[in-house]
Structure 1
Amino acid sequence: MKLLHTTLGPMRADELGMILPHEHVFVDLRTPDKPGYAEADPADVVRLMAPQIEALKARGVTAIVECSTGGVGLRVDIDLAVSKATGFPIVVPTGNYREPWIPHWVREASEAELAERFYRDLAVGVGDTGVKAAWIKISAGDDGITPLEEAILRAAARAAGRTGAVIGSHTIKGRVVMDQLDIIEAEGYRADRFISIHSQAETDFGLNLAVAERGAWIEYDHVGREPDDEVAALILRALDAGKAKQMLISHDLGWYDPAQPAGGTPRPYTHLSDVTLPLLRTRGVDEEVIRQLTVINPFEAFAR
């Protein structure tokens, strides 16, 4: 049976509904060597972010995927605190971001050591939180994969191969995604267990299709951040190309930022429910496809 591992434990598909596959509760975009990096009192994060979660619950959203990974402030203890305070499942990753957001221990670790760390986070739990990571979040440079980023990717593929976890990557260029898929397959893992995060940033739609033809998920996570007509047009274009079962849509919004006074001002996770889905309906997208995009696909992508 497929299960989605969350802060509230493993969950079946029939226990969940709409899932947002790319959001953030807590992010620190400073590099890990900066003073105060990723430091915050969980209670302060709860105060700021719980109202955002409650707004989601009111719209029928049943879970979100936390996309803050190692190097950009992964704090599973904070995700757990927010989750418990709201009674809302959050799906957390293991992994690490790209250069220069790579902490010293990752730079010093071997591929085997990284793979074992990622595997433990997936199979046992992240740190002492008791929360199993559901997936592996990585990244790659805009102009190509550096040797260190490739080592992280190879380690991720090995850990994912032992668990069935999906690997998601913040990758801007489609040709770099294709290189990542080559590396994953060379490690014996599968392209269909890869999410091309920020697919909308690749302006050549043909490369979006090429990635999907390899079997990977394409993710359009700019809802509420770009003009609504442009977002809808891209989603419709992918639907017309037959990619309804390989597409994820989300906001890439939130969040508590420890670099800002009192965590800054979060941006709501509600635009998809309030604006984008109604817009898609007016443009002929039926409820079966809406459910595919917002309920079935996120579960299938992140469950294992």
Structure 2
Amino acid sequence: MQSRREFLQSCLATPFLLNNLHYSDEKIITVLGEVTAAQLGPTLIHEHILVDFIGADKISSNRWEHSQVISKVLPYLAEIKTRGIKTVVECTPAFIGRDVLLLEKISTQSGINILTNTGYYGASDNKYLPSWAFTETAGQLAKRWISEFVNGIEGSKIRPGFIKIGVNPGALSPIHQKLVKAAALTHLETGLTICSHTGPSIPAFEQIELLKKEGVHPSVFVWVHANSGDSNDFIKAAKMGAWISLDGISEDSLTKNAATIHLLKTENLLDKVLISHDAGWYKPGEENGGEFRGFTTISDQLIPLLKTKGFTKADLDQLMIKNPVQMLSIRVRKT
């Protein structure tokens, strides 16, 4: 097992200049550069512009045209802009359609802050992992992700604003444990938050424990798709410090999600709740990118529903502004 000292020494062979990066605890990194907490504004913390499920061995940005994607997506971003949304966290990982130059264009043209990520997605039985993810150590993978943070993604100057990994629903496999450890090492050197496609409770708690063993506080961990878990587990994880991401909000799930948010509020855990739609999804290979689900359900339906349950403006600001700022701010959080 590679120690942290050995890992840091191995990084000296690359042009990492971490000491020359200057940012405060309130800096957030978007595809257009750093913004302050005040500039983030109302935020959707888990959405997608483009996703390509062809597999890591076949994916290529040649499978889509920027102009066609932009034409399709901009009207949906204009909709949320009129509703006061200022930031979208774009959660598509590498090898599933992450295209930072596309996101840069869309952010510039829409006026919406967009964040992208580093990391690898092991869910769906590793279909979207590059070949080296199976052979390299956690330290070697982390070195790749830290390089994207320091030097930019794929030859660009665009830097990730968070780490995105993914694991299968059951107990963590050895390779998924390695992804979690790599994410921990990356966080300790960059201060990036770890958003992990997780779902059920078993892998959520296993990841929290692995992170703690690496010296990373549970507040670094975002339990993505926590909608799949049990409310008692939400409460337990939130009390440990983890973020509870209710990111599958749609018309069909409004009542359930509103009840869960209300429950967490009654437990004084509203400050650990994140909400989003997991919507969008321009799909290369389908006519005109296939069906694209918009991002307005929270603004148009969930927030009015929460108001009927006694949620105040301060509560809603907590959900839409304060929690995203706390989750995305660049800072190292150790146990």
Q: What TM-score range do you get, normalising by the shorter chain?
A: over 0.9
Q: SS at 1:31's partner residue? A: coil
Q: SS at 1:56's partner residue? A: helix
CA distance in 2 between partners of 1:69 and 1:35 (Å): 12
**Paired position in structure 1 for 2:70:** 46
CA distance in 1 between partners of 2:175 and 2:62 (Å): 22
**Paired position in structure 1 for 2:226:** 199
Judge conservation of contact 2:100–2:116 (CA < 8 Å) in 1: yes
**Paired position in structure 1 for 2:5:** none
Q: 1:160 to 1:36 in 2, by over 3 A?
A: closer
Structure 1 segment 256-275 matched on structure 2, within 5 A: 256-275=282-301
Q: Does 1:31 align with 2:58?
A: no
How far off is 1:35 after superposition?
Answer: 6.4
**Paired position in structure 2 for 1:226:** 252
Equivalent residue letter for 1:145: L
Equivalent residue letter for 1:80: E
Question: How much identity, in percent, do the aligned residues show?
Answer: 29
How far off is 1:11 after superposition?
Answer: 0.6
CA distance in 2 between partners of 1:112 and 1:283 (Å): 47
**Paired position in structure 2 for 1:187:** 214
4+ runs deviating over 4 angstroms: 35-38
How far off is 1:107 after superposition?
Answer: 2.2
106-115 or 247-256, which deviates more = 106-115
CA distance in 1 between partners of 2:119 and 2:66 (Å): 22
Unaligned runs of 5+ in 2: 1-23, 331-335
How far off is 1:73 after superposition?
Answer: 1.8
Unaligned runs of 5+ in 1: none
How far off is 1:71 after superposition?
Answer: 3.3
How far off is 1:9 after superposition?
Answer: 1.3
How far off is 1:113 after superposition?
Answer: 1.7
TM-score using structure 1 length: 0.95
Q: 1:198 to 1:35 in 2, by over 3 A?
A: closer
Deviation string for 1:166-190 (max 9, x for gaps)?
0011111112111101111111211
Judge conservation of contact 1:219–1:247 (CA < 8 Å) in 2: yes
**Paired position in structure 1 for 2:169:** 142
TM-score using structure 2 length: 0.87
CA distance in 2 between partners of 1:288 and 1:109 (Å): 46
Q: SS at 1:212's partner residue? A: helix
Q: SS at 1:168's partner residue? A: strand
31-40 or 232-241, which deviates more = 31-40
Of the three residues 165, 173, 191, the one matched with 1:164 is 191
Judge conservation of contact 1:96–1:138 (CA < 8 Å) in 2: yes
Q: SS at 1:65's partner residue? A: strand
How far off is 1:27 after superposition?
Answer: 0.8
21-30 or 268-277, which deviates more = 21-30
Judge conservation of contact 2:251–2:297 (CA < 8 Å) in 1: no
Deviation string for 1:80-100 (max 9, x for gaps)?
121122222101111111122
Judge conservation of contact 1:5–1:11 (CA < 8 Å) in 2: yes
Superposition CA RMSD, Å: 1.5
Equivalent residue letter for 2:250: G
**Paired position in structure 1 for 2:10:** none
Q: How many residues align?
A: 303
CA distance in 2 between partners of 1:125 and 1:300 (Å): 23
Of the three residues 80, 88, 91, the one matched with 1:56 is 80
**Paired position in structure 1 for 2:141:** 114
Judge conservation of contact 1:38–1:73 (CA < 8 Å) in 2: no
Deviation string for 1:103-145 (max 9, x for gaps)?
2132233322211111122233211221110110111111121
Judge conservation of contact 2:283–2:290 (CA < 8 Å) in 1: yes
CA distance in 2 between partners of 1:239 and 1:72 (Å): 35
How far off is 1:225 after superposition?
Answer: 5.2
How far off is 1:146 after superposition?
Answer: 1.4
**Paired position in structure 1 for 2:200:** 173
Q: SS at 2:64's partner residue? A: coil
